[in-house]
A and B are shown apart, each in its own frame.
Chain A
Amino acid sequence: MNKSSYVALMVVAGLGFGGTLCSSYGVEGSDQLIVEANKSISTAEASIGEARSAIENAKQLLATIPSDSEMMGEVTEMLADVKDNWSLALEALNGAKESASKIPTASSSEIAGDYKLLATVNAGVALSGAEVVKTGISFIEAVAGNKVEALDIIRSAMQDSLAASSQVQFNYERVKSLITQKYSK
């Protein structure tokens, strides 16, 4: 065996070994990533389903609140937050599904992992948005049912919920930015 053929053989062996590991990851690792991403998406979907039912319920409850009620201003504010977060939740859920759909066709394990991360964090944005919707609707329920003692607790919970939702969105943007930076080097 001469010098050049020996080096060529070793190069092929090295890359082949690496490639074997890559392809074995592609079968098992990718499946695991898909399972994890789908789990997050299912949880978000379930919460969005509950939020959808709450919105349907709120439509009827709103009709029972007198238009001259002193709580109407606050109810309107809550509804604005509910609307924003509902749109955000639906959009994020679609984004999560799109990212998850790219996992099996990713060209490397690293890219597949990043798609999975984007899918799970986007599912988190959807889930937190749906939770804000549910909390806001709880306030409308309390006003409609004249449960004065519950209002303060729900107000505080709504503030916390909105802060948490903003934190999730902020982190989603951070994840996106860090992943973009990684591939733009």
Chain B
Amino acid sequence: MKKYHFNKIGLAVCVAGLFSSVQVGAIDLAAASGLLADVAVISAQSSSALAAAANSGDVEAIVEAQNRADAVDSAMAEAQEAYAAMERAVAGGDEDAAAAAAEDLTAAQQKAGDALNGVFPEVDSQETAAMQAVRGAQTIPPTFMMYRGRRMDFAVPIREYLVRCGVHHHKVALDLVSVTLLLSSGSFIRFTRGCLRFFRGLYYE
């Protein structure tokens, strides 16, 4: 029994020695500040490139530099938001949220770096793939309509809203989505207009 007790002490000391050498700061606000600074540096670089393009007088170069600067600004805003979320999470002691915010910050830094080099994310294809993945998982039929050339997708937000409200049953969610679809569909609007015209005709006759 005594021997077992000493083995436990030995194991604890060994583990303490190991951890004293591997100091991993799970949540490192200093490193996050460094990342945010890096994104700001990229922003300064994109502004300088835009000024140089403006001086060159090459319209295509100006448009390209402006697009890059805008994309970098967008990434900068995302990085600031992620940093603020990280600060809040650290203050609240929520390590998971802090780790997620740190990931968002790293992603924003990558996005800014890519934008400076003229690499823009393919938003449409990525979003479509995400939507398709969600639909595949939830077996929700295609739920979008084109409005003035823009694709309006409402199934995903509705489903997320329902889940947030506690409606986890897919069938209920699906029915509600179908009703919403019917109400927003062009054929329903045409049907309603037709009915109105018919009744108006009856009234005037």
Chain B stretch 47-91: residues in CB contact (< 8 A) with chain A: 47-48, 50-52, 54-55, 57, 62, 66, 69, 73, 76
The total number of A-B Cβ pairs within 8 Å is: 165
- Verify B43–A13 contact, CB threshold 8 A: no
Chain B contact-residue range equals: 35 or more
| Listed stretches B13-21, B126-134, B166-174, B190-198; interface member | B13-21
The answer on a CB contact under 8 Å between A3 and B6 is: yes
Q: B33 contacts the other chain (Cβ, under 8 Å)?
A: yes
State whether the Cβ of A16 lies closer than 8 Å to any Cβ in chain B.
yes
A139 touches B51 (CB 8 A): yes
Closest 5 CB pairs of A and B: A14-B17, A10-B10, A171-B37, A18-B17, A138-B51
> Which A residues contact B (CB, under 8 angstroms)?
3, 6-7, 9-11, 13-22, 25, 108-110, 114, 117, 120-121, 124-125, 127-128, 131-132, 134-135, 138-139, 141-142, 145, 147, 149-150, 153-154, 157-158, 160-161, 163-165, 167-168, 171-172, 174-175, 178-179, 182
Given contacts A120-B34, A160-B44, 12 further A-B contacts (CB under 8 A): A7-B9, A10-B14, A14-B13, A15-B20, A21-B18, A124-B38, A135-B48, A157-B69, A164-B44, A171-B33, A175-B37, A182-B30
CB pairs A–B below 8 angstroms (18 shown): A6-B6, A7-B6, A14-B10, A14-B18, A17-B21, A124-B40, A132-B48, A138-B52, A138-B55, A150-B55, A150-B57, A161-B44, A164-B41, A165-B44, A168-B37, A171-B33, A174-B30, A178-B29
